[in-house]
Amino acid sequence: MANVSKGHATEATRAVLLALDRCGLAWKLEAATAVALGGGRAGTPLPDLARAVTWMIVIGGDGTILQTARALVDHPMPILGVNPGQSLGFMTDTRVQDVIATLDDMRAGNFTLLERGMLRAAVGGADGSATLLPPALNDVVFIHGAHAQLIVLNVLVNGEFFTTYAADGLVLATATGSTAHAMSAGGPILFPDTAALVLTPICPHTLTNRPIILPRGYRVDVRMGEPHREVGVAVDGQVAHQLAPGELVQMQLDTRVTRFVHSTRHSFGDVLREKLHWRGDLRVDRSRE
C-alpha cells in the first residue's frame, strides 16, 4: 500500500511492483493504491488485505506508517517501509533503489524482525467512564490549541504524584517516537527496540524540568492542572481528543507491538547518520583534505 496522495509515492509503487515480479514474489494491492495506479488492477480494502497476506510493504513517509500501524494493530504482520524519495522517513528506511537488494536479503534470510513498542492510552472521566484511545506507535502529545499559552499538567507515575509541568506542552513517546516530536523538544534518541517511554516537556517554565526515561511496566497519568486552559491530546499527531477538567489520561506501553522487516545491510546508526546529517570522524575528514 502507498500514500497515494503524493505522486512520487505512486511512481515508487510501480517500481516496487516491478521488483516483486522480478523476484518472483506474489503480491496484492490495497484498494486506494490500486485505484491510483490504474490499469484495471483489482485492489483489496486494508482490513481484508491484512487477513490475506503475510507481510506488508508500505510506501510513503512515517505518517503513512503510523496510520497503517494503527489499522494493523490486531494483525501484527511485518511491515517493510519503503521511502519514495522525498520523505525524512525514520521508519521507511528502505530506499526505492534498494528494494530488489532488500527482497533478495529477505529471501536469503539476511533480515531481522524488529518489534517496536506501542503506547496504550485511555481517558478516564470524572464520572468513572473510560474511553480507550487508538494505540500510538510514536507518541501522545498534550498541547494548547491556537493560542501560545502555558498549559498546566499534573503528572503521576505508577499512581504517585510525580510533578506539575507548566509548559507549552508535554510529549510521552515510545522509543520509535523518540526521533519525532520528542526529539524536537530536546528529548533523547532511543534505539527503536528499547522497551521504554520518554516523558519530555515542551518549553517548560521551570528549566530544571528535563526529559525522563521510564522503563516498561510504568504507567503515566496526566490530568489538567490549574488554571484550566484548553488542552488537546494528539495520538501520533493524527487522532485528537479535547481534554476536559477532571479527566485523567492513563498511558503505558501496550502488550501489542508493530513488527518491521529490517535488512541487515544497514543499521539504525546508519539511518541516524543519513537522516540527521551527522558527520563521520572529524580527524579522518581533516586527513583527507
- Cα separation, 271 vs 283, whole angstroms: 22
Sign (positive or negative) of CA dihedral 190, 112, 253, 146: positive
Q: What percent of the chain has pLDDT over 70?
A: 94
Candidate from 103-117, 136-150, 269-283 with smallest mean pLDDT: 269-283
Structural domain boundaries in the chain: 7-110+264-287, 118-254
Out of 62, 93, 221, 236, pick the active-site residue: 62
Neighbours of 148 (CB within 10 A): 7
What is the average pLDDT across 136-159?
90
The larger pLDDT score, comparing residue 159 to residue 287, is at 159
Neighbours of 108 (CB within 10 A): 9
Q: pLDDT digit string (tens) for 164-202? A: 999 999 999 999 999 999 999 999 999 998 999 999 999
Candidate from 29-38, 52-61, 279-288 with smallest mean pLDDT: 279-288
Contact 218, 201 (CB under 8 A): no
Is the pLDDT reported for residue 124 higher than 80?
A: yes
The larger pLDDT score, comparing residue 58 to residue 42, is at 58
At 287 the pLDDT is 47
What is the average pLDDT across 207-225?
95
At 268 the pLDDT is 87
Is the pLDDT reported for residue 152 higher than 90?
A: yes
CATH topology assigned to domain 118-254: Tumour Suppressor Smad4 (2.60.200)
What is the average pLDDT across 119-137?
91
Candidate from 54-58, 109-113, 209-213, 277-281 with smallest mean pLDDT: 277-281
Nearest to 260 by CA among 13, 49, 81: 81
At 198 the pLDDT is 97
Instruction: Show Cβ contacts of residue 52 under 8 Å, excluding neighbours closer than 6 positions.
Output: 28, 44
Nearest to 137 by CA among 235, 212, 48, 234: 235
What is the average pLDDT across 41-57?
92
Q: pLDDT digit string (tens) for 220-252? A: 999 999 988 889 999 999 888 999 989 999 999
Q: Which burial class, exposed, middle or buried, applies to 144 when counting CB atoms under 10 A from its CB (0-12, 13-18, 19+)?
A: middle
The rounded mean pLDDT for the chain is 90
**Exposed e or buried b per residue across 194-217, where buried means at least 16 C-beta atoms within 10 angstroms of its C-beta:** bebbbbbbbebeeeebebbbbeee
At 118 the pLDDT is 95
Tell me if residue 62 is catalytic.
yes
Per-residue pLDDT band at 146 (split at 50, 70, 90):
low
| Architecture of the domain defined by 7-110+264-287 | 3-Layer(aba) Sandwich (3.40)
Q: What percent of the chain has pLDDT over 90?
A: 68
**Exposed e or buried b per residue across 128-141, where buried means at least 16 C-beta atoms within 10 angstroms of its C-beta:** eeeeebbbbbbbbb
At 39 the pLDDT is 80
Q: pLDDT digit string (tens) for 77-111? A: 899 999 987 667 788 888 899 999 999 999 999 89
